[in-house]
Structures are given as C-alpha cells and as structure tokens.
Structure 1
Amino acid sequence: MSVVTLRLPEEKHLRLKQLAASRNTSVNRLFDELATTALVQHDLSVQFRAAAESGDPARGLALLDKLDAHFH
C-alpha cells in the first residue's frame, strides 16, 4: 500500500473528519472510497467515449444507465 501526503486547509480537513465520523469510518478509508468513486467515474467515461466513437448508441446508453445506477 502506498502512503500519500496531502496538504489541505484546516477547515476542509475538519469537515472531512466530520464526514468520516458521520459514516463511522476513518478519514483514510473515506479517501480510499472517494478515490474509488473517482476512478469508476473516469473508467465509465472512457468506456462511454469509446462506445460513442464506435457508433454503438445502445452500448453508450447502457453505460450511462450503469453510471446512473452506481451513483443513485
């Protein structure tokens, strides 16, 4: 596992600690979850663009449905 040092304004750090506490998790785990969410969004965006470029509208719409289901 890698170690990342991140500089944040104190107010933002405090809010992230509060958010993590409200989810009964650590700030470390919260960042891991946020990173996973960002990567899933990116991967689906790349897949959507590839499907759109290949001219397969049905596949593109299916990816949008998958993205919507994941975040709602």
Structure 2
Amino acid sequence: MLDIRYEIIIYWSEDDQSFIAEVPELPGCIADGDTYESALQNAHQIISEWLTIAKEENRLIPQPKGKLSFA
C-alpha cells in the first residue's frame, strides 16, 4: 500500500444510508461504507488506486497538504 497522507473527510449521508469518505485533494476520490471504519478503509483503498492510475497515466499528483483550512 502506498504512503497515504491526504486528508479524508468522513460524514454520514442520510440519502445513501452510509458513511461517505471524500478526499478533497484528489478529484473524484470518494468512497463509502456501512460503518465509519469501513468508509475509512475503503478510502485508503481508493486513494491507493487513484494514485496508481495517475502514475500509470503520467498525470499530475497533488502533494498532500494535510489539514485543509476554510475561511
């Protein structure tokens, strides 16, 4: 597994009846799960896949910034 240092935001979605895990720094990188823990585990997997595909396609990979701040 790749070294994952991207921020993951996890929240409950009433519409989906599951926890949603978003990775704001990686466009389209979203996972879900029945529990908070499974959403986090699935997020780690999808981040790994996102980064692998980006490397294979020579796409720009954003450097992890850590905690995002909002105004």
Question: Shorter-normalised TM-score: what interval?
Answer: 0.3 to 0.5
Q: For CA contacts below 8 A with separation 6 or more, give which structure has more relative contact order.
A: 2
TM-score for the superposition, normalised by structure 2:
0.40
Structure label with greater radius of gyration: 1
TM-score for the superposition, normalised by structure 1:
0.39
Q: Which has the higher strand share?
A: 2
